[in-house]
Amino acid sequence: MLEKIVKSAQALLLGTALMTGATSVSTAQNVPEGVTAYEIEGAFDDIRFDLENAIVNRGLVIDYVSHIGDMLARTGEDVGGKKEIFSNAQAILFCSANLSRKAMEADAANIAYCPYTLFVYETPETAGNVTVGFRQLSASGSEESRATIANVNALLDEIAREASGQ
């Protein structure tokens, strides 16, 4: 019970921070503005699996997995790439019918945020340290629209935290 209260408080604080213009929340270093990211020691495949489970265990369906690291490695020479950027990197896209409907009922333009994306990556320089996170959705428009987008950001944060053990 206490754990649920703490998680609810964390989600509320994140939602409030995002609605009031906070630009990033992070335990990872060098995170761009508007991105939330958490770093954890461990094997990429294990943490990626934890991220997938954190999504599907909420009854959500993964729509697509983007193999960003593989694509960059495959095309690097063709585009004049000079270094290996990632050891592993993926983006996982999914949607929540419940949250998406609420967000789009509040403002049809919120379709721009669906599907939702979480990323997971490891760089050669930080082998054994994996970063999990998401790009925060900007909350604008009506109060109802801002509240629904804050709820989406809270869900993304909850999933990223679970996968990273935060």
- Name residue 2's amino acid: L
146 contacts 19 by C-beta, under 8 angstroms:
yes
Cα separation, 67 vs 37, in Å, equals 18
Of 141 and 95, the structure prediction assigns the larger pLDDT to 95
For residue 27, pLDDT over 80 is answered with: no
Residue with tokens 């959500």: 60
Tokens of 158: 């909850």
Structural domain boundaries in the chain: 2-164
CA angle 98, 104, 105 (to 5 degrees): 90
pTM: 0.81
Cα separation, 166 vs 151, in Å, equals 19
Average pLDDT over residues 43-52: 97
How many residues are present in the chain? 166
* pLDDT for residue 7: 41
Residue with tokens 């403002």: 107
What topology is assigned to 2-164 in CATH? TATA-Binding Protein (3.30.310)
Cα separation, 130 vs 42, in Å, equals 7
Q: What is the DSSP string of 78-96?
A: GGT--S---SEEEEEEEE-
CB atoms within 10 A of CB 102: 18
* pLDDT for residue 6: 35
96 falls in which pLDDT band (50, 70, 90)? very high
